[in-house]
Amino acid sequence: MTEANVTPHQPWPQPGNADVVPEDTTTPVTLPVVARAPGAYTISRSEYPNGVVIVNPTFRSDPPDKTVRWELRSSSGPDETLGPGWGDGVVVLFQG
């Protein structure tokens, strides 16, 4: 499983943006943050061209803008399907 460090620009789990640094690079990518209840979702490249950070709306951290390490799902296709077991958060990053 690939992971990424995720640092929000606002307190978790508020919507906004986050800097995402995949474990195989040091270059951050800024992605939107959306709060969604746990469940299965299809994330569309047409809606989120570069990707998205999905955070469980009940997630809290101390401090509230703490960097977290979450699963990174990388895709070169038009969609990425998430199963219901993504925990506190997950990153979908579209490549190419």
Model pLDDT, residue 1: 81
d(CA 34, CA 32): 7
pLDDT category at 96 given cuts 50, 70, 90 is confident
pLDDT (tens digit per residue) in 31-85:
999 999 999 999 999 999 999 999 999 999 889 889 999 999 999 999 999 999 8
Structure-token match 């951050």, residue found:
28
Asked if the model's pLDDT at residue 29 lies above 90, the reply is yes
Contact 42/92 with Cβ under 8 angstroms? Answer: no
Model pLDDT, residue 46: 98
Q: What is the mean pLDDT of residues 4-27?
A: 96
